[in-house]
Amino acid sequence: MNKIKNYINGELISPLSDSYIDNYEPAAGKVYSLIPDSDERDINCAVEAAVKAFPVWSVTPAEERSKILLKIASLIQKNLDKLAIAESIDNGKPVSLAKSVDIPRAVKNFEFFATAIIHFASEAHIMEDKAINYTLRNPIGVVGAISPWNLPLYLFTWKIAPALAAGNCVIAKPSEITPMTAYLLSELCIEAGLPAGVLNIVHGYGHKVGKAISAHPDIKAITFTGGTKTGADIASIAAPMFKKLSLELGGKNPNIIFADCRFDEMLETTIRSSFSNQGEICLCGSRIFIEKTLYDRFKNDFVDRVKKLEIGDPNKPGTEQGAIVSKQHMEKILSYIELAQEEGGKILCGGNRVNMDGRCKNGWFIEPTVIEGLTHTCRTNTEEIFGPVVTIQSFDTEEEVIEKANCTEYGLASILWTENLTRAHRVSAQIKTGIVWVNCWMLRDLRTPFGGMNSSGVGREGGLEALRFFTEPRNVCVKIEDGL
């Protein structure tokens, strides 16, 4: 069986424990490869290699670092089909989605930060007749990157690329549930000539490898994407050590639909914003609020459209809904569907596990599910489910929907549908989320700040925010005797 290896000090090596974790293909419900069960000792070796590599990498001219990162981008592009198939097998997502979204975005992440670093400049503050202040922005040193399973290579590279571009050395851990494309990336980094120790990828469990990254004294900053509770665990270790932290956490995003919206466009996008990647995207809108006068029309057309979504083998081209990432996650989602019914919800469509035939007969599939009749404060409407489950609720006034939209502990993203420009700006300013999409969803400009408020996270990634996070600003104040 294919054994994944750690990438430490430029080499692909086995974990020191020599033990492995089963890696499942969700669509088939069976083990298809083995993942290193690494521990603190592997992290120590990785940090040692990174510390050794840092003095050279950190002073390598930005143009040189950029060239290597662009080479990695072009190798990802060259291997797009192979990586997309691997992502689909590992995660359960339709291969068409991996080909059109996940892997192209991994290419873009490297391209974006490889070029951004060439244009990155620091500030100067002039005190007319007294002094010049200028800011030095040096790489931090060795940094940690921990990423989740839902958009594996997409989010892994979103963290690694800016960290490397800024001149840091990186210790990275993909989710042990979806490690394959991170492993394939390590092969591409070797091919691209990335110097040994600059990037180290250590596979294994969060409570061992992730925890060791959080606790290692030589890792000075951590970028993490994942669940809110895990973010709090990492912060409880890293914050007292005064590490820099960027935490991108969970969400329970509202999708607010006013009656004056462009209906057809809204409906098509709402299908995507509800069920793309089986609803396993932190940015999916899982609470749909519809203005009362549009409610019945929306409900009929939406449910009709959801029922037609093609659930199937992720490797088939026409599949729109693939498998849920793990048995445990499938059970969690099903338990929320049960809870919704206990809380008085009515299932309008879906609600069940799907038993497939053929090679997917043991796979983990759930019907896309739409629920109505729940209060906005119930658990189903306030806790993150992270699956193909949405609720629909009606509203009368703008004030009412703003209050309902803001009533969870989360604040990641929101979606707003209206043709009234004034209202769009007014509501956007009052929704407490880090990202607001008006008449669109997942339209991403990588220069913009990305991240959530409240329990959805701390800090922003993307564009210059990421490069600022991965550098340490130092102010130098030079007194000028005779003025400028």
Catalytic positions: 248, 282
Q: Is 226 one of the binding residues for ligand NDP (CB under 6 A)?
A: yes
Q: Is 177 one of the binding residues for ligand NDP (CB under 6 A)?
A: yes
Reading the block at residue 38, the tokens are 């690494």
With 0-12 / 13-18 / 19 or more C-beta atoms within 10 angstroms meaning exposed / middle / buried, residue 133 is middle
Q: Is 385 one of the binding residues for ligand NDP (CB under 6 A)?
A: no
Q: Is 334 one of the binding residues for ligand NDP (CB under 6 A)?
A: no
Nearest residue (CB) to ligand NDP, 148 versus 463: 148
Rounded Cα gap, residues 48 and 392, in angstroms? 52
Q: Is 411 one of the binding residues for ligand NDP (CB under 6 A)?
A: no
Q: Is 210 one of the binding residues for ligand NDP (CB under 6 A)?
A: yes
Q: How far is CA 134 from its chain centroid? A: 34
Q: Is 176 one of the binding residues for ligand NDP (CB under 6 A)?
A: yes
Range 435-451 burial, b when 16+ CB lie within 10 A, else e: bbbbbebbeeebeeebb
Nearest residue (CB) to ligand NDP, 104 versus 227: 227
Nearest residue (CB) to ligand NDP, 253 versus 418: 253
Reading the block at residue 404, the tokens are 């309902």
Which of 79, 96, 157, 175 binds ligand NDP (CB under 6 A)? It is 175
Rounded Cα gap, residues 143 and 54, in angstroms? 11
Which of 230, 253, 277, 393 binds ligand NDP (CB under 6 A)? It is 230
Alpha carbon distances (Å) from 315 to 47, 209, 273, 310, 319: 38, 31, 22, 13, 8
Rounded Cα gap, residues 356 and 402, in angstroms? 41
Site for ligand NDP in 269-328 (CB under 6 A): 282
Q: For the CB of residue 237, give the shortest distance to ligand NDP in the complex, in Å.
A: 8
Q: Is 145 one of the binding residues for ligand NDP (CB under 6 A)?
A: no
Nearest residue (CB) to ligand NDP, 250 versus 285: 250
Rounded Cα gap, residues 103 and 84, in angstroms? 6
Bridge partners (DSSP) of residue 289 are 256, 393
Q: Is 90 one of the binding residues for ligand NDP (CB under 6 A)?
A: no
Rounded Cα gap, residues 475 and 114, in angstroms? 25
Window contacting ligand NDP (CB under 6 A); options: 110-118, 140-148, 185-193, 436-444: 140-148
Number of residues that bind ligand NDP (CB under 6 A): 32
Element (H, E) at 169: strand 169-173
Residues engaged in binding ligand NDP (CB under 6 A): 146-150, 173, 175-177, 205-207, 210-211, 214, 225-227, 230, 233-234, 248-251, 282, 384, 386, 412, 452, 456-457
